[in-house]
């Protein structure tokens, strides 16, 4: 029987489990994940802001795996040997596979800044950031990195700690660089409305317990510093033998198969579509789910996988800390409290689709 390993319970892999629950393939299936609860990215800023409890923004993989006839194994991959088709886990176990599907996400980029390791908290893993938040009552918060995650996180933390002075520090000319002027203007207005300081065109040279030093000579007070400096590839892929892109992410073709090893599928942040690279975002990880599920089923059934073309523009919904959000797609931008309610309905609907218990358990507990 084919040994299929699903590595990581990321957004795309959820669709594989859902498809297998509908129609079980003739395969010996394992899901390897460090935690049974996998967070849903769209709701993370809402968890930080205090609108949701953590459980509401997580999908329990256990019932999903059970329905799919899949053995769930708690573990974290630390290496893949694609020649011998083996995965090594942090505990030392070695797992063989015939077919592998990787959806393990990205890791936060850790800038080489003195003091960052001691005094700054990366946005991921979100459980660690939440644990730090639960213990803190900061006077000054800084978020490094003005991408979508950084912008959402600084507004979420401002909402969580209204008395704290909040600063967003971006090396480029503007937050959300490359995402369109109308969206940049809307976000700029929202940050100004919330009295969040935005420092642009400045690189951080040192992070201390109570301050951040910039190459412009300026010092920003900060006793709670968060790194939202972008997505990096997991370093355990480096010696896997899989074809990787220049940044170390798994290179896949239009069928979501590795360009070097067709028995390996990859989707979500960990993968780069070689012909049409897309930004590392939850939206694209979700979009890749149905074609990933269909192609794994086809390969298991002895059929050729089909090409998938990722759409160029995706709807972006940015939470603004308070119950207010900004939507953008292509050239248009909409904002309002109703956009937050729309986003809330989409996000809750996504989690409920895979884990109907997520909301009710929270209500009970
Ligand atoms: C604060 C914040 C807010 C964000 N907001 C948005 C947003 O609003 N919209 C949006 O589109 N994107 C957003 N993003 C980006 C989004 O989180 C990612 O693009 C998305 O989660 C990628 O999905 P994925 O399926 O690739 O991986 P993930 O969702 O990261 O899932 C990976 C899974 O694999 C598991 N795993 C990790 N390493 C291993 C390993 N070594 N072995 C086994 N399992 C492993 C993890 O535990 C996890 O369950 C946000 C990111 C952050 C940090």
221 and 342, same domain (yes or no)? yes
The reply to whether ligand 1 has any atom less than 6 angstroms from the CB of 61 is no
The reply to whether ligand 1 has any atom less than 6 angstroms from the CB of 60 is no
266 and 350, same domain (yes or no)? no
152 and 238, same domain (yes or no)? no
- Summarised one tens digit per residue, pLDDT across range 67-110 is 999 999 999 999 999 999 999 999 999 999 999 999 999 988 88
pLDDT of residue 68: 96
Averaged pLDDT score across all residues of the chain: 94
CA of 306 to the centre of ligand 1 (A): 25
Q: Does the residue 294 lie in any domain?
A: yes
The reply to whether ligand 1 has any atom less than 6 angstroms from the CB of 123 is yes
Domain of residue 252 covers 2-108+231-300
CA distance 117 to 13: 31
Count of structural domains within the chain: 2
287 and 356, same domain (yes or no)? no
Task: Give the atom of ligand 1 at the shortest distance from the alpha carbon of 153.
Answer: 1
Q: Does the residue 127 lie in any domain?
A: yes
CATH of the domain at 26: 3.50.50.60
150 and 273, same domain (yes or no)? no
The reply to whether ligand 1 has any atom less than 6 angstroms from the CB of 233 is no
Listed range (145-149, 257-261, 280-284) with the worst mean pLDDT: 280-284
The reply to whether ligand 1 has any atom less than 6 angstroms from the CB of 289 is no
The reply to whether ligand 1 has any atom less than 6 angstroms from the CB of 8 is yes
Element (H, E) at 224: strand 224-227
CA distance 287 to 276: 14
321 and 192, same domain (yes or no)? yes
175 and 198, same domain (yes or no)? yes
- Summarised one tens digit per residue, pLDDT across range 102-142 is 999 998 888 889 999 999 999 988 889 999 999 999 999 99
Task: Give the atom of ligand 1 at the shortest distance from the alpha carbon of 35.
Answer: 47
CA distance 46 to 54: 9
DSSP string, 137-161: --SEEEEE--SHHHHHHHHHHHHH-
Q: Which of 269, 300, 331 is the last residue of a domain?
A: 300
Q: Does the residue 293 lie in any domain?
A: yes
β 37-39/58-60 pair status = antiparallel
CA of 347 to the centre of ligand 1 (A): 14
191 and 121, same domain (yes or no)? yes
């Amino acid at each position: 029987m084919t040994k299929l390993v699903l590595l990581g319970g990321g957004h795309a892999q959820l669709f594989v489990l859902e498809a297998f629950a509908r129609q079980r393939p003739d395969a010996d299936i394992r899901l390897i994940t460090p935690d049974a609860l996998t967070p849903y990215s769209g709701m993370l800023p809402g968890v930080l802001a205090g609108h949701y409890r953590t459980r509401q923004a997580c999908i329990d993989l256990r019932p999903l795996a059970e329905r799919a006839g899949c053995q769930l194994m708690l573990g974290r991959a630390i290496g893949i040997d694609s020649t011998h088709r083996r995965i090594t886990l942090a505990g030392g176990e070695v797992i063989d596979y015939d077919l592998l599907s990787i959806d393990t996400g990205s890791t936060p980029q850790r800038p080489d800044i003195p003091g960052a390791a001691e005094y700054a908290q990366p946005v991921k893993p979100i459980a660690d950031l939440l644990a730090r938040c639960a213990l803190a009552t900061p006077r000054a918060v800084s978020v490094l990195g003005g991408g979508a995650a950084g912008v959402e996180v600084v507004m979420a933390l401002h909402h969580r700690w209204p008395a704290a002075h909040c600063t967003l520090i971006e090396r480029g000319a503007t937050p959300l660089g490359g995402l369109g002027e109308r969206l940049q203007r809307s976000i700029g207005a929202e940050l100004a409305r919330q009295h969040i300081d935005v420092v642009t065109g400045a690189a951080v040279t040192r992070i201390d317990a109570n301050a951040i030093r910039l190459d412009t000579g300026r010092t920003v007070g900060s006793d709670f510093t968060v790194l939202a400096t972008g997505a990096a590839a997991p370093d355990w892929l480096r010696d896997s033998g899989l074809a990787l892109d220049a940044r170390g992410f798994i290179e896949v073709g239009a069928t979501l198969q590795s360009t070097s090893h067709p028995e390996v599928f990859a989707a979500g942040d960990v993968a780069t579509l070689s012909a049409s690279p897309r930004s590392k975002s939850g939206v694209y990880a979700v979009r890749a789910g149905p074609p990933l599920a269909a192609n794994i089923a086809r390969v298991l059934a002895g059929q050729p996988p089909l090409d998938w073309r990722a759409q160029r523009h995706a709807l972006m919904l940015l939470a603004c800390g308070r119950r207010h959000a900004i939507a953008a797609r292509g050239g248009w931008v909409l904002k309002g409290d109703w956009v937050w309610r729309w986003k809330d309905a989409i996000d809750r609907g996504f989690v409920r689709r895979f884990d109907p218990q997520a909301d009710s358990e929270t209500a009970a507990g």
